[in-house]
Homo-oligomer: A and B are copies of this chain.
Amino acid sequence: MKGNLLLLCLFLSFGIKGQENISFAKKAEIVSPQINPGNTVTFRFETNDAKIVSVQGDCCPQGGNFVKDNNGIWTFTTQKLDPELYSYTFLVDGVKVHDPNNPFLIRDVASVVNVMIVPGGKADLYKVSNVPHGSVTKRWYTSPTLNLTRRVTIYTPPGYETSKEKFPVLYLMHGAGGDEEAWMELGRTAQILDNLIAQRKAKPMIVVMPNGNAGQTAAPGESSEGFVKPVFLRPEMLSGQTEAAFGDMLKFVESNYRVKNEKASRAIAGLSMGGMHTLVISANYPDTFDYVGVFSSGMLQPKDSNAPAYTDFDSKLAKQKSNGYKLYWIGIGKEDFLFTKSNEFRNKLDNIGFKYTYKETNGGHTWSNWRDYLSEFATLLF
């Protein structure tokens, strides 16, 4: 009410005349989502017209029907939730509606979802904390192999710009449907790294998040293709080109950033399709990475198994083994649809005595797991 009075005074003092692009405060400020003490969450939605309002998302696997009060405010409170970054949308008479009181949305492939953080435990790593922050840059580099200028996201740790030090580098590969935004947005990479570095649980490092779709210059909406609808399956998926062009990325980073350019200071990790990229790249550059993280993946079906990156894989793997490395980390959820593929890949490694660290978790092919894996993997590096 006070806010409205102030608003009114302000505009009267300006001489009101008709304005656009201005969001006026609502009569009664609706809070949604509201994270309650005890980690239940209350959602609210205002409409007089709907017959059924519900919520869907990983917060609320059983859904949840809202109850309407006399003012037309629909409300639903969840059970106690574990600490996590959750995504959700509302369903209003069967139509998907974003929570109009929560402007925080993340795109996941072509879907856009509301997000919220239920705090505590691991989820505190996903929050922006009052700690020194790294910088996040969207930058373009040239890939001679692909004959493309491409966009990449680069996290440099707090103090990078003013330090004289050289830093180790983690390359982080996204999955199918993702792009150079994915690890930053749903992966909360900058927040996880800021927090782990502040807690001295991870070393200060540069994190490079390339676009792993070889035919794509940049994320949908960020390239000259314009606002094109993102697709989950891209024609060049697992064509071997991303792996073949990785040298361009490496060269760009090592000639443009203050990095320690030695095996002991390089790591690569990726999820799903990016896990396949990771295991293939690390085997094709068998003396390049001391740290490898394969998240929710295995040997997937390449589009072109004759692509140079994919041929002679077993002998490349043997070479990688004999060259040595410090950590080969594999993580997968028990319910992941690639669980069998992951097991098959571990069998392949076992057969040649290729050592690795294995983490089997609950859950499936989810960002919840990938944030966990990154949070753990990052602490084991360098």
Contact = CB atoms under 8 A, between A and B. Distances in A.
B300 A14 contact: yes
Interface string A206-233: 0000000000001011111011011111
Given A224-B127, A365-B21, A232 B14 contact: no
Contacts of A103: 107, 110-112, 220-221, 229-230
A144 B17 CA distance: 39
Contacts of A362: none
A117 B23 contact: no
Interface in A299-318: 300-301
A18 B17 CA distance: 56
A125 interface: no
A139 B194 CA distance: 13
A335 B17 CA distance: 7
Interface residues of A, number: 91
Nearest to A135: B139
A116 interface: yes
B366 A25 contact: no
Contact of A224 (B10, B130, B162, B339): B130
A358 interface: no
Among A11, A49, A158: residue with most chain B CB under 10 A: A49
Interface in A240-281: 256
Nearest to A99: B112
Interface string A126-138: 0111101101111
A100 to B, nearest CB: 6
A11 B365 CA distance: 13
A93 interface: yes
A366 B128 contact: no
A67 interface: no
A96 to B, nearest CB: 6
Contacts of A130: 224
A60 interface: no
Given A93-B49, A94-B49, A128-B223, A229 B366 contact: no
Stoichiometry, copies per complex: 2
Contact of A136 (B110, B129, B137, B341): B137
A177 B218 CA distance: 29
Contacts of A158: 140
Given A7-B233, A112-B105, A301-B10, A337 B16 contact: yes
Nearest to A49: B94
Given A138-B135, A140-B135, A335 B232 contact: no
Contacts of A145: none
A19 interface: yes
Contact of A100 (B6, B21, B96): B96
Contacts of A186: 21
B139 A366 contact: no
Contacts of A221: 103-104, 128
23 contacts: A6-B233, A7-B233, A11-B337, A15-B340, A17-B340, A18-B364, A19-B364, A22-B365, A95-B95, A96-B100, A97-B98, A103-B107, A103-B221, A103-B229, A103-B230, A104-B220, A128-B218, A128-B226, A130-B224, A132-B140, A133-B140, A135-B138, A137-B138
Q: Which 7 A-B pairs have the closest CB atoms?
A: A17-B337, A23-B109, A137-B137, A135-B139, A133-B140, A130-B224, A19-B337
